[in-house]
Amino acid sequence: MNPKKSILSLNSKLPSILDLSKSQLVDNLQNLEQPRFRGEQVWRAIYKECLTSFHDMTNLSKELRSILSQNYSIGRSSTVISKKSLDGSTDKILFRLSDGELIETVLMRYEADGHRRGRKTVCVSTQAGCALGCTFCATGQQGFRRNLTVGEITEQVLVMERLARTEDEGEVNSGKRSRGEIQGVTNVVFMGMGEPLANYDNMMAAIRVLNDQKGIAIGARHITISTVGLIPGIERLAEEDIQINLAVSLHAPDNETRSETMPINKRYPIEDLLQACQRFVEKTKRRIFIEYVLLKGQNDTPQHSAKLGEILKDLLCHVNLIPVNPTGDGPYHRTSYKEAQRFQSDLKKFNVPSTVRMEKGIDIDAGCGQLRDRALALTE
């Protein structure tokens, strides 16, 4: 399936039905003198069957399909650029929203191993741009534009869900898997453009849509929210009644180093952030993922690994070590795989578990904000 042709029906003058919760959708149809089950049928058609047009909802009357088409669109974005990595493991799409803003979404494929089944993970954006200004992040250098709506968040997953299902069906037709093994998207990570906890309400509303068992039905434990460390958001998340994962972007073991690359550290220093992480673990009984981008010569020395092990040794966590995906002519360079392994070994001395993250999509500007930067450069 060509992602350009798989974009949900476009009519920027109509409100997106994707911005409605299930209860709002049911209520709106009841206001149109439709029975409650009609709203649930429309919900299933959009989120379970992934239909792209009201006219394809043949279990509805022609009159209702016409009414829906006159009052709503199913999504309001269009594809600007779609790229696939040379190894076929990663797709990245640059979307243009109805007001012209650009956002990025990534689909990453992971082969099954001895511990986990094969996965298809969607990395979604929650904001156009970002206000937090992390110096190693392309999005952080673009400035904040606006928050995404609930529908703009969920639409990213719907587009990738149809792409993933098409791939699964192709493997069924070729005999590589059975029809019962069609799974589509298995995981969603809120690690794209923007700070998810700065768009908290829309993010959580989107998560509840994605988690709904009569829709795409992404399991809560297969959903991860990544934050630079907005402590009020972490504390609020700990009170939610859904068991989603939390990943905290730490990227340095001390305040001096972290403040150089992450301005937010001046508001929420490491000691306060780690206390909030500890409270999250105590409240939810769930481990936290610590994201640590390795910047050659900046935060990857033996001194840094020792400090990191020391401050994390009492926290229920798992560290993801990520060699930086360089942004254009930026000042940062990738730590070698050998040095990343040494860093990992140092953490093991403190009984801090870690993984050197697999590289995905370097050849297609898969780092956050990179494809948007390239597209804008081509139009200047």
Complete domains list, the chain, with CATH? 17-71 (1.10.150.530), 78-379 (3.20.20.70)
Picking from 76-80, 135-139, 299-303, which range would have the lowest pLDDT averaged per residue?
135-139
For the cut 70, the answer to whether the pLDDT of residue 51 exceeds it is yes
Please, is 286 exposed, middle or buried when counting C-beta atoms within 10 Å of its C-beta (0-12, 13-18, 19+)? middle
For the cut 90, the answer to whether the pLDDT of residue 107 exceeds it is yes
Decide: helix, strand or coil at residue 108: strand
Averaged pLDDT for residues 340-351: 97
Both tokens of 277, joined, read 């992480």
Active site residue 291: no
State the pLDDT at residue 380: 37
**DSSP letter, residue 14:** S
For the cut 90, the answer to whether the pLDDT of residue 370 exceeds it is no
Tens digits of residue pLDDT in 242-259:
999 999 999 999 999 999
For the cut 90, the answer to whether the pLDDT of residue 45 exceeds it is yes
For the cut 80, the answer to whether the pLDDT of residue 12 exceeds it is no
Cβ 251 vs Cβ 258: under 8 Å: yes
Cβ 224 vs Cβ 246: under 8 Å: yes
Active site residue 256: no
Phi/psi region, residue 365 (left: phi>0; alpha: psi -120 to 50; beta: rest), is left
Both tokens of 232, joined, read 């009020």
State the pLDDT at residue 2: 44
State the pLDDT at residue 54: 96
Residue 245 dihedral angles phi and psi, to the nearest 5°: -90, 150
Residue 271 dihedral angles phi and psi, to the nearest 5°: -60, -40
Distance CA 181, CA 179 (A): 5
For the cut 70, the answer to whether the pLDDT of residue 89 exceeds it is yes
**DSSP letter, residue 336:** P
Which of the residues 50, 123, 317, 368 is marked catalytic?
A: 368
Q: What is the dihedral of CA 86, 90, 96, 97, to 10 degrees?
A: 180
Q: What is the dihedral of CA 45, 49, 54, 56, to 10 degrees?
A: -120
Distance CA 44, CA 215 (A): 6
| Residue located via tokens 């220093």 | 269
State the pLDDT at residue 146: 96
Which of the residues 104, 152, 167, 195 is marked catalytic?
A: 104
